[in-house]
Structure 1
Amino acid sequence: MRLSDLSTRSGVPTATIKYYLREGLLPAGDRVTASRSEYTEAHLRRLRLVRALVQVGGMSIAATKEVIRAAEDDTLDQHQRFGAAQEALFSGRPDAEERPEPGTAARAAVDELLAETGWGECVDQPLYWNLVDAVTALERLGHPCDITRLRPYAAAVAPLTEYEVDVLAGYPDEEQLEAMVALTVLNEPILLALRRIGHAEVSATRFGSSGTGGHPAGAGAPNVG
C-alpha cells in the first residue's frame, strides 16, 4: 500500500507517519521509485502499536523507541526480549544512593514477598525498585505496607500473569513481542479502571447511606492506594 493508503487505514496523518519513519519507530517501506515506497500489513500493525503507546499509553517518543528497540533485538531469546522490553517500559531506576538499605521495612517486605513467591529473578531490576519505591512511599505517609498487606496483591496477580502469558503464546512468533508491549501498556488502564469501579461498589455497599443501595451520582472510588 502507498503512504496515503497507510494513513487512511490507520487514521494517522501522513506527516505523523513520516515523522515516525524518521525517528525509526516505523521501518522504511520497500522503495518502488525515487519518490514512492510500498508498505505492508506489518507496517500498519506497527503504526497502530506506536500510536496506541503514545496516545493511550502516554509514552514519550524516546521511551517508545527504547521499547521497540528492545523488542527487535535479535541477539536475545524470547524471554530476554520480553524482559528488555519490560525494562524499557518501566525504566525508572533510582540512583544507588537513593535506594533504601536492605534492612528498611519497605525493602525487607518486598524481599520477603519475592522470596515467598519465587519471583526473585527481578531483584535489583527496575521493576523491583518500582515496587520498593511504592512501598517506601506508603511507609513515609504513615501507611505501613508489610508482608501481610502485600500478599493479597501477589495472590491476585499470579493467576492474571499466567493468563496473560497464555494469551501471548497464542500469537504467531513474529507478533508476540508487539502483543506483549501493547497488552502490558494498554491492559493497565483496564485493570486500574476495574479496580476503581470495584472500590466504588464495595464502598457503596459498606459505607453508603442506608437504603440508597449505591454511591452518590458522579462519585468515584475512594483512593486506597
Structure 2
Amino acid sequence: MRLAELSRRSGVSTATIKYYLREGLLSPGHQINTTTAEYGDGHLRRLRLVRAMIQVGGLPVATVREVLRNVDDDSLGRTIRLGAALWALPQVPEPDEDDAFVRAAHREADELLDRVGWSNAKELTTISPAYRSLVVAVAAFRRLGYEWGHELLVSYARLMHEVAKLDLDFVETHPSEAERVETAVLGAVLTEPILQALRRLAQEEESARRYGFA
C-alpha cells in the first residue's frame, strides 16, 4: 500500500507517519522510486501500536523508541524479550531500601512468591519493575496502617495467574515473535484500563447483589 492508503487504514495522518519515520518509530517502506514507497501490513500493525502508546498511553517518543527497540530485538529469548519491552514502559520509582516498611514489604513479597509457587518470577526480582511496584505498593499500604491479610494477597495472586494465562494464550495466537511482543505491549497500554474497569463493574454488580440499591 502507498502512504495515503496507510494513513487511511491506520487513522494516522500522512504528516504524522512521516514524523514517525524520521524518529525511527516506523521502519522505511520498500522504495519504488525516488518519491514513492510501498508499505505492508507490518507497518500498519506497528502504526497502531505506536499510536496506542503515544495517544492512549501518553508516552514520550523517546520511551516509545526504547520499547520498540526491545520489541525488535530478536537476539533475546521470548521471556526476556517480552519483559524488556514491558520494562521500558514507565515504572514506579525505586523503593527506598533503608525504609523499614520497604524491607518488610520485600519479605512479604518474597513469601508471597514462595506461597504461590512463582519460582521463575522470584529469579527476576532484582530486575523486574513489577516486583518493585509490588514492594512499593505493599510498603505504602502498611505505612498507612492498613491491615490487608497475607492470605487475601495470595488469593489475588492466584487469580492474577489465571489472567496471565489468558493474556499469553492470546499473545500466542499471533504468528511471529515480533507480533507477540507487540501484542503484549499493546495489552499493557490498553488492556490494563479495561481490566480495572471490569473489576470495578464486578464490584458494583456484587455489591448490588449483596446489598441491593436501597
The question of a shared fold, defined as TM-score above 0.5 by the shorter chain, is answered with yes
Question: 1:7·1:17 contact (CA, 8 Å) conserved in 2?
Answer: yes
Give the 3 Å change call, closer, same or farther, for CA 68–99 of structure 1 in structure 2. farther
Question: 2:101·2:143 contact (CA, 8 Å) conserved in 1?
Answer: no
Kindly provide the CA deviation profile for residues 35-78 of structure 1, in whole angstroms up to 9, marking residues without a partner as x: 22211111011101111222223333222221111111122122
Letter in 2 for 1:5: E
Provide the C-alpha distance between the structure 2 equivalents of 1:118 and 1:100, rounded to a whole number of angstroms.
Answer: 27
Aligned to 1:223: none
* 1:123 matched to 2:128: no
* 1:203 matched to 2:207: yes
Aligned to 2:196: 192
Provide the C-alpha distance between the structure 2 equivalents of 1:209 and 1:18, rounded to a whole number of angstroms.
Answer: 53
Provide the C-alpha distance between the structure 2 equivalents of 1:27 and 1:91, rounded to a whole number of angstroms.
Answer: 27
Question: 1:110·1:147 contact (CA, 8 Å) conserved in 2?
Answer: no
* 1:133 matched to 2:136: yes
| Among 156, 160, 164, the residue aligned to 2:163 | 160
Letter in 1 for 2:70: A
Question: 1:112·1:147 contact (CA, 8 Å) conserved in 2?
Answer: no
Structure 1 residue 23: deviation in Å?
Answer: 1.4
Name the % identity. 46
Aligned to 1:82: 82
Question: 1:71·1:177 contact (CA, 8 Å) conserved in 2?
Answer: yes
Give the 3 Å change call, closer, same or farther, for CA 4–61 of structure 1 in structure 2. same
Give the 3 Å change call, closer, same or farther, for CA 3–103 of structure 1 in structure 2. closer
Provide the C-alpha distance between the structure 2 equivalents of 1:90 and 1:55, rounded to a whole number of angstroms.
Answer: 15
* 1:12 matched to 2:8: no
Using CA pairs under 8 Å that are at least 6 residues apart, name the structure with larger relative contact order, 1 or 2.
2
TM-score by length of 2: 0.87
Aligned to 1:63: 63
Give the 3 Å change call, closer, same or farther, for CA 89–193 of structure 1 in structure 2. same
Give the 3 Å change call, closer, same or farther, for CA 161–100 of structure 1 in structure 2. farther
Question: 1:168·1:176 contact (CA, 8 Å) conserved in 2?
Answer: yes
* 1:107 matched to 2:92: no
Provide the C-alpha distance between the structure 2 equivalents of 1:33 and 1:49, rounded to a whole number of angstroms.
Answer: 28
TM-score by length of 1: 0.83
Question: 1:3·1:39 contact (CA, 8 Å) conserved in 2?
Answer: yes
Provide the C-alpha distance between the structure 1 equivalents of 2:101 and 2:206, rounded to a whole number of angstroms.
Answer: 36
Question: 2:112·2:154 contact (CA, 8 Å) conserved in 1?
Answer: yes
Aligned to 1:216: none
Provide the C-alpha distance between the structure 2 equivalents of 1:107 and 1:201, rounded to a whole number of angstroms.
Answer: 34
Letter in 1 for 2:206: V
Letter in 1 for 2:189: V
Look up the SS of the partner of 2:12 in the other structure.
Answer: coil
Question: 2:21·2:27 contact (CA, 8 Å) conserved in 1?
Answer: yes
Please list every run of 5 or more consecutive structure 2 residues that lacks an aligned counterpart in the other structure.
Answer: none
Question: 2:102·2:135 contact (CA, 8 Å) conserved in 1?
Answer: no
Report the more deviating stretch, 159-168 or 83-92: 83-92
Runs of 4+ in 1 over 6 A off after TM superposition: none
Question: 1:25·1:68 contact (CA, 8 Å) conserved in 2?
Answer: yes
